[in-house]
Structure formats: C-alpha cells, structure tokens
Structure 1
Amino acid sequence: MRTPLTVAIAAALVTGCGAASSPAAPRSTEYLKDGTFVYALPDDPGILDPYRNIMPIGEMGTLTYDSLVNITPEGKIVSGLAETWESDATTSAFTLKQGITCSDGSPLTASTVARAFTFLKDPKNQSVLYGLLVPTTPFTVKADDAKRTVTVTMKTPTALVLETLGRAPVVCDKGLDDPKLLATGSVGSGPYMLTELVRGDHYTFTRRPGYTWGPDGAGTDAPGMPAKIVVKIVPNPTTRANLLLSGQIHMGEVSTADRPRLVSRNLERYDIPAVLGELWFNQRDGRPGSDPLVRRALTAALDLDELVSVTTAGTGKRATSMIANSAQPCAADTVTGQLPATDPAQAAALLDQAGWAKGADGTRAKNGKKLHVDLHYSPAEGPGTVAATELVAKRWQAIGTGVKLTADDVSAASRVMFETGDFDIYWAGFAFGLPVHIAPWVAGPVPPKGQNIAGIDNPAYVELSAQAAAATGAAGCALWNQAEQALFKSADVVPIARAERAFFFHKSRAQTDGWLQQPIPTSIRMLK
C-alpha cells in the first residue's frame, strides 16, 4: 500500500536500489514544451509537512524538497544538494553546491541543513522521519557556511548514513521558523513549488527556473520537462485507467484487473516491487494479539498461498521479507521456515491452549469475554485487498473467532495507527527500503512517542537490531536478517504477498528510484 500503509510509512523512504523496471522506449521523440503533467493518486495525502506526515514524501515530496544525495533507478548514489561527500560508519561530510535557493528566494546554506538535521534528530520533536531516514544513534551536526560543508558525526558506528540521512528532505529556514506553513505549503529547494491546493481534488506545482541541483546535476531546463505538475486525487483504479486511456491524466497506478486494457494499448509503464499484504497484530494490553499463542493460531488458520492468489489476482508471489526489493543490500529470504504452517486443526488447538474455549454458538470465549478481532484494511488498495481480508475473516471465523472488518481511508488509517491505536490487526503493506527502516515500526515506544504502531515487544529483535545498527557490510546484513526472522518466529508481523505495482504513462515518460511512488521530478518528459 501507499503511505502509512505502503510508506510510505511508512514509512519510510529510501532507495529501491534498482527495483523499478526501466520505462519502454518512447514512441515519440518530440517533446512537448511547457506542458502540464497530470498524475493521479488514490488518496489525498493530508498535511504536507514532510517532518510530520510520511505520506507526502513518497507521493509528491521530491517535487518541492531536496536531499543531500539521490539514488538513481540503477541504485547508484549521485549528487543532490551536495556536490561531493565522504562517508563512513562514523563521519559523513557533505559539500553543498553553490547557488542553491529556496522557493521563497532565500539561499539554502550549510547552516540550514544543519538546523534541519538538528530538529530531526531530537526525539522530542516526534518527526515521522526519526528512525526511518534519521538514525536513532545520537549524532552531532556542524556547518561551515564559508566552505559550504555539513559534517555529521555519529556517537557510535552506524551503517547506511548516506542511504538514510543523506536522503532526508531538507526544509528551508522559513519553514523551520514557522512550521505551520508546511501543512499547506512548500518551503523547500525542490524543482517545483506548490501554487494551488484544493483538498480532496488536486495540487498544482509550478516549475522553478534556474534550478540546477537535481539528481546528478539535473535541472529544470531539459526539453519536455513540464511547466506545471498537477497531482489529481482519483480513488478508483478503474477510473484512473480510463483517464489514462483518454489522455486526461498522464501517469497513474493501475490495478491488476485493469492492466490488460492498458497493456493492449502499448502504453509505457514502470513497475515497482511491493509488499501488498502483511498482518500486523496489535500487542497493546488487552488486545487478543498480545498473546503469542493467539497470533500463531490466527496465522496457522490461513493458507498464505491462497491469500497471495486472491490479493494479487494470481500475479504475485509469497513475500520472502518485509522488503520487497530483492536488490537491496541485505536481500535475503527471512520468512521461509519461520511462520506457523497452514493447519486449522493446530490453530484450534493453540486457541484451546490459550484458554479460548468454543461456546455453543461456535465463538470462543475466555473469562466471559468472546474472542473478537477488529481487522482494518484500506479499500483504496484495490479489490484484491478487499477480497483477501474477507477471506481472512472467513478462515478465522471457522476456528471460532469473531471478526469485524473495518475499511479505512487514508486519513482514518493515519489516525488509527498514529493516534488512537484502536485496532486489533491491520492488513497493510509497508514499503520499507532498508532493514534499518523497519526498526522503529516494530520496537520502541508506541505513537505519539514512537512509531511502534502495534506495540510489538520482541526482545530478540531489539537485541539483534541493536547489534546490526552498529555493524557494517555482510556482518551487519546477517544480523538485520536474523532480527527480521525473530519477528516472524513470534508471528508479530506476517508477510503475505509481493507483486509489481504498475504505473502507466500517456504521452509522457519518467523514471523512479524504485521505492517512491512518484516519478523523479527531473526525469519527467512530456511527448507530443
């Protein structure tokens, strides 16, 4: 899924390391000058503050905000705000390009970057990027405006600083002075600036002239680069497909069921590997999922291969990790052999062992309280997700568990995950880019003090991930993978399906770094 359910959370936000397929060669080489590029999103992202809301970063954040470095579709780290850099597990030094300006015309200096990072690294500020793009390891930031340098020094060795902190969006001074401006505006140094906002309908961004500090030195003067970009909210995937075919939008994600129509018309596309389904068991006090026997029972009641077929319309495969992209640095199968096998009889036995006895009405109860779970999901993820959650409910009801299905739009999902915590199980697909991004979602404090949305308390994961965070190379990857396995052994999270998310183009083309839903802004080209 997207944002808090895909992300981006999600989550999080970094490289796909070559995850996306390259777009097909364009059928026209004639570029349209100063066009308006329209691309569709299923949901309104809500507040636009990139430090308070994960969703806009993965959907349109790079239109307005830059990072110190960027990652190409092939997974190579290239310049951004920084023209040069040196980085190891302890110290990372960045030299900014000359002449960088913010959307309000003010210069972006080394002190601006240091100020932004100083805000992000303080857990009291409760930024959604803390633990995702911002290491939780204590670090210091020093700026030298005369030399245009920013130096980050970690208290203890920390891996992947370029891929995390180096990719964090930098808010300009005006936005840091008055964060309220960030909710409905853009105060960054990106290639576009927000010029119109109509909640629930569209966002309009206008190209900034003189921009030359994009990925690997890309600017806004390339032939075919749109003068305006309109992000239109189109919840229905079939409607998005129809609008693409009619040329009313130029880019949009299309669900599995609607893809054949667009493929038959030979539209260009790029694909992004995605985890399309995970079950997150809420382990806060009083929730059924706080008991590992219940988590294992509900997992054993499911045929995960059956769920893969349903949620992906037969096009996906079993998820082998919480990270979809098999090209990321620590890629490994961390799932096989860790989860309970499909066995409804064993599922029933585990519930018996946990003290949930079947009543005359077929529903289990314990100490006078019936076993009932509230399973949340997002229908915006398409009919496959809806059908899959209905199947999950059917299988759990068969072993005596009452099930309520709750459909959340993106605002409700954010509220439930990050404010109320009022769910028993969430069907979600977070788009984690690196193992380090998983940590704050499965360990530490629950919202609002942290991002551990399910209140997971797995000592083995905590110990192994702490060791991994201080290690580098193959040794670090091995520890991260063992930590992830610990989550599955305890059925804290149950990965289900992985498949390709397809983004189609009409008379246009673009590239993605493989993690973000949005295209790389300076790669967008409109064609006649």
Structure 2
Amino acid sequence: MKRSSVLVGAVLVSASLAACSSSGSAADGTGSGDDATPIRMAVASDPGVLNPITNATADGQQLALLAYESLVRLPAGAAAEGLLATDWEVTPTSATFTLSPDATCSSGEPLTASDVKATFEYAADPATGSPFLDVYVPSEGMTVTADDAGGVVTFAFATPLSFPLETVGQLPIVCADGLADPAALDTTTAGTGPYVLDTADSGLSYTYTLREDYAEAPTADMPTTLQVEVVADDATAANMLTTGDLELALIGGTDRDRLSGQDLTSVDVSAGPGRIFFNQAPGRATNDLAVREAIAQAIDRDAVGSVSTGGRGEAMTSLMSNSSSVCVGEDNAASIPAHDPDAAEAALSGAGITLKLLYNSAGGSGITAGVELIQEELAAVGVTVELTPSASYTDVIFSGGDWDLVWAPISAELPSIWAGILSGDFPPDGGNWTYNANTAYQAAVAEAQQLSGEDSCGAWSTAEAALFSNVDVLPLWEDTETFFGSGVELGVNSNGQLLPTTLRVG
C-alpha cells in the first residue's frame, strides 16, 4: 500500500480536512448491496483536500473515483470505454464527445455539455493550480465548445495530440454546483459518480454512500456504504483483512505472503516503476553522455530491480507501465546500455566523480535497498555516491535543486505525457527538470504528435529509444502490489486504482 509513485508527474501537499457532509441524494441504508453493513476500504494516507482537479496524489484520486467520473475510463490493459460519454470521434486536432443522457449530478441535475466545458476552464485557469494542466488539459491552443441541446462537447487543439481521447477524456468532471463554489470542493463532493461523501474524520476515515439516482451503470450488489479508512502500513492492513476489520486493501511487499490461501479476491497491479533520471544541467558530471553511459553500465538492473521489489517485480523495457492501455507491448530493451562493469570502470576510474543520488525517504525499504546497491556498484567502478533521501524530493527536482541522479517512481499513462516532462524550458521557468535537450527525442515526438492513437505508437517507440540510447533515463524494474477483497469482487483501471462500479458484494 506504499503508493509513493507520482501520478502524472505531480504531487500536492495534503491539507487538513475537517469533518463534513456532502449534498446530494444517497441510498437509504439498504441500497443495492446485501445489507447496510459498510464495506471498509484502506488507503495509505490521508488525501487531505478532496478537490479532484487539484489533488493528483494516488489516494486523492482514488477517493475522487468514488464521486467523480470522466468522459471515458481506461481499464487496466484495455482500450478506453465510455463513461460520461457514449460516443466520440477524435483526430490529432479535435475530439467530439456525445454525453450519456443518464449522466446526472449528485445534486439531481442532469450533467450538461456546459458543465464539462466549465470544468476544463476551471482546470486550465492558472489560479486553480491544477497538476493536470498539460497532462489532461492542454495549457495552450485548446478551445472547448458546448452544445447543451445536443449533449455534445467539442475540443479543438492548435497543437496536435497523439492521444486526444485518453488525454481530455480522463479529467474528472465537476458539476455546476461544485464549480459555483470551488473552495467547497476541498471538503465536499459534487460529481456524477456513484457515491457521495457523507462524513469525514480527518486523518482517520471518510464515509461514502451509494446514490439511489445513479443510472450510468448497474448498481445491483454494489456496496451501499464505503468507509474509507487511513491505514498507514501494509502489515496493519494485512492484519485487518485477516481479522475481518477491512474488506478492501492494497498490499505490497512480503505482507502479501500471509494472505495467500485466504478466501480473498485479488488483482495484481503495477506500482512503483523504478527509474533513474540524470541531471543534465551544465556543470554536472551527468551532463556528459560518456559519464551517463558508464553509470548505466555499472548498474546491474536485474540485481537492483530484484532487491527493490523483493523479487516480485518485472524488468522494464519501456517508459510505459505494464498495465498501460495504449502502445501495449513496446520493447526498447535493445537501446538500454548493457551491464558492463569493466567498461564502466575503464571510463570512470580515476575521474574523481562524486554524485548525489536523490530518492524518496518515504518510499519504503525496497527503494532504500535499491539505492544502497547502486551506491555499492558505482563505488566499485570509482564513483562516490552520496545518498540524499528526502520526503520532498519532488520539490528538489522541480525547483532545479542539488542532485545528480534521482530514483523517481513517476507514473504516466500516455507516452505523450513524457514529452511534457522531458521537454520544454528548464527550472525555474519550466518543468524540464532533467535539463533534457535530446534533439533526436524531440524530432520523434514532433512526428508522433501528428499521428493519432495506435498509429502514433511507432514514432513514440522511436522517441523512447532515443531517450534510452542517450541515457536520459535508465529503466529498472516495475514493482507490483495486490488489491485484496474480502467478500467483494473488484476491478482496476490503468493506474491500478479501484473502479467503484466494479465492486460487488457477495
């Protein structure tokens, strides 16, 4: 349950959430499930603010999925499915969505095309501070038009997008009553999702109730009440599953071992991609390709990956997660420098290089073991590595701080998102925090952006290979975690998060 990975390359600081209640009609207590007994679900940390447009943390987005919906959804390893939209047409420069007539807000009002447009305008406003800007919401060159009578929303993009459906289609949509008072979104819900927030006890639990007017998906046997509890560690969550004090929990590491053989539903999800990024700012040793290549040769990716994942992970051959819904099966392992400590020593020994390796101090014992092994492997070829753990490591990299290597478990659902991370202006003027200036990558990105959907995957693969061969990033292993359900069936999306409409009691 160590959801330390950064969704779409962004992290927010959680704020305190006072006890509150939400508006909207809710089921009366018997609901669609077998009885009114709450289904208890664990999250690893208090999500703080509940605004789905400003909170990109994994736990914040998990709670957002209960109360909010997007135009489409991406099940793990599968193509996009309609959610608020029933039909769509996309090109690299446009996307048109027809809304479901069954989509209603928790206020009881029908969702309108204008509500969708207003949500994008709210997210695009720099004053909102949405981490989804330039992820699901292009910051420049996008216009949105709404046809309320026809229930149609149309997007036009001045700069072509390879994945317009998966880009704008994934932003959580907020209803009119929520947008009328955005500050209230921190502590209440105002969406079209199957659940509404009933009560909240900051740092402890959040209770959601099934809407009796929800009609976008079958609700038979869905839990009437979901009680989301903050459980900080996997060992405690595993104990609570076995003692009947939890029904849903995400468990990682070896704590899963004692759950095998139990009468539990389980779904494995990709989590915590292990990658080393290099600071290529002028004056850094890692600005030199020969140094980066030698560092990559010194690192035994399989050994580090196995240690960091407890032997449960899989070697990464792509920037994309193994659960990605697009460009599935991309393999650029041939472009990654092979393990060759002798060549690394010949290149680095006697150079007197000292490097700072930054990593998340709250990332768990696996990551700590992984960076310590990297430190040993680089020491063996003459490089001194100073380990610099930080709970705010993202602040360090985004601000142009002091680091040479960083273990950053950034998770991005689309290859186009990486273009926003690895291109553009350098800090503090932009978000290109690796100071990447790989012209071969940029040329392949420009080609990919002229193509749509799967037709663009070849160009994106070429772009990715350019990153690996230039050692802008070194992929290691991707960890796994497991969602367990006790008496509850479940399904997940491409981010490894629970989809509430898949929950079935019994």
Partner of 2:170: 167
How far apart are 1:157 and its partner, in Å?
Answer: 4.4
Q: 1:253 aligns with which of 250, 253, 259?
A: 250
Structure 1 residues 188 and 394: alpha-carbon distance in aligned structure 2, compared to 1, 3 A threshold = same
How far apart are 1:377 and its partner, in Å?
Answer: 2.7
How far apart are 1:62 and its partner, in Å?
Answer: 1.0
1:470 aligns with 2:450: yes
Partner of 2:29: none
1:357 aligns with 2:343: no
Structure 1 residues 408 and 144: alpha-carbon distance in aligned structure 2, compared to 1, 3 A threshold = same
Partner of 1:487: 467
> Which ranges in structure 1 are unaligned for 5 or more consecutive residues?
12-29, 359-363, 365-370
Q: 1:511 aligns with which of 486, 491, 504?
A: 491
Partner of 2:236: 239
TM-score scaled to structure 1, two decimals? 0.82
Give the match's secondary structure for 1:131: coil
What is the distance in 1 between the residues matched to 2:285 and 2:431? 20
Partner of 1:367: none
Partner of 1:296: 293
What is the distance in 2 between the residues matched to 1:184 and 1:285? 44
Partner of 1:209: 212
Q: 2:435 aligns with which of 450, 455, 459?
A: 455
Give the match's secondary structure for 1:405: strand
1:3–1:9: 8 Å Cα contact kept in structure 2?
no
- Segment drifting more, 109-118 vs 82-91: 82-91
What is the distance in 2 between the residues matched to 1:44 and 1:392? 32
Structure 1 residues 10 and 252: alpha-carbon distance in aligned structure 2, compared to 1, 3 A threshold = farther
5 Å matches for 1:417-432? 417-418=397-398, 421-432=401-412
What is the distance in 2 between the residues matched to 1:265 and 1:168? 37
- Segment drifting more, 437-446 vs 142-151: 437-446
Equivalenced residues, count: 485
Structure 1 residues 33 and 446: alpha-carbon distance in aligned structure 2, compared to 1, 3 A threshold = farther
What is the distance in 1 between the residues matched to 2:390 and 2:178? 31
- Segment drifting more, 432-441 vs 476-485: 432-441
5 Å matches for 1:157-196? 157-196=160-199
Structure 1 residues 330 and 373: alpha-carbon distance in aligned structure 2, compared to 1, 3 A threshold = same
How far apart are 1:88 and its partner, in Å?
Answer: 3.3
Q: 1:521 aligns with which of 495, 500, 504?
A: 500
1:253–1:504: 8 Å Cα contact kept in structure 2?
yes
What is the distance in 2 between the residues matched to 1:105 and 1:334? 47
How far apart are 1:475 and its partner, in Å?
Answer: 4.6
Structure 1 residues 63 and 327: alpha-carbon distance in aligned structure 2, compared to 1, 3 A threshold = closer
What is the distance in 2 between the residues matched to 1:102 and 1:445? 40
Partner of 1:34: 36
What is the distance in 2 between the residues matched to 1:181 and 1:423? 38
TM-score scaled to structure 2, two decimals? 0.85
How far apart are 1:473 and its partner, in Å?
Answer: 5.4
Q: 2:383 aligns with which of 401, 408, 417?
A: 401
Structure 1 residues 99 and 38: alpha-carbon distance in aligned structure 2, compared to 1, 3 A threshold = same
How far apart are 1:239 and its partner, in Å?
Answer: 1.8
Give the match's secondary structure for 2:154: strand
How far apart are 1:283 and its partner, in Å?
Answer: 3.2
2:4–2:272: 8 Å Cα contact kept in structure 1?
no
2:90–2:164: 8 Å Cα contact kept in structure 1?
yes
Amino acid at match of 2:7: V
1:60–1:518: 8 Å Cα contact kept in structure 2?
no
How far apart are 1:376 and its partner, in Å?
Answer: 1.0
Partner of 2:359: 376
Deviations along 1:396-434, one digit per CA (max 9) or x if unpaired, are 23334333334444xx34544545745433223333222
Q: 2:369 aligns with which of 387, 405, 428?
A: 387
Give the match's secondary structure for 2:186: helix
Give the match's secondary structure for 2:182: coil
Structure 1 residues 181 and 397: alpha-carbon distance in aligned structure 2, compared to 1, 3 A threshold = farther
What is the distance in 2 between the residues matched to 1:455 and 1:154? 27
Structure 1 residues 437 and 318: alpha-carbon distance in aligned structure 2, compared to 1, 3 A threshold = same
What is the distance in 1 between the residues matched to 2:377 and 2:334? 22
> Which ranges in structure 2 are unaligned for 5 or more consecutive residues?
12-31
Deviations along 1:464-491, one digit per CA (max 9) or x if unpaired, are 1121011135652111001111111121
What is the distance in 2 between the residues matched to 1:304 and 1:204? 43
What is the distance in 1 between the residues matched to 2:82 and 2:197? 24
Indicate the RMSD between aligned Cα atoms, in angstroms. Answer: 3.0
How far apart are 1:122 and its partner, in Å?
Answer: 6.1
Structure 1 residues 286 and 5: alpha-carbon distance in aligned structure 2, compared to 1, 3 A threshold = farther
Amino acid at match of 2:168: L
What is the distance in 1 between the residues matched to 2:458 and 2:10? 24
Structure 1 residues 10 and 319: alpha-carbon distance in aligned structure 2, compared to 1, 3 A threshold = farther
Structure 1 residues 50 and 159: alpha-carbon distance in aligned structure 2, compared to 1, 3 A threshold = same
- Segment drifting more, 442-451 vs 292-301: 442-451
What is the distance in 2 between the residues matched to 1:458 and 1:124? 32
Amino acid at match of 2:256: R
Deviations along 1:360-417, one digit per CA (max 9) or x if unpaired, are xxxx4xxxxxx2304213544x4322211221122223334333334444xx345445
What is the distance in 2 between the residues matched to 1:509 and 1:408? 37
What is the distance in 1 between the residues matched to 2:330 and 2:471? 16
1:312–1:384: 8 Å Cα contact kept in structure 2?
yes
How far apart are 1:57 and its partner, in Å?
Answer: 5.5
Give the match's secondary structure for 1:167: coil
Structure 1 residues 415 and 206: alpha-carbon distance in aligned structure 2, compared to 1, 3 A threshold = farther
Name the % identity. 35
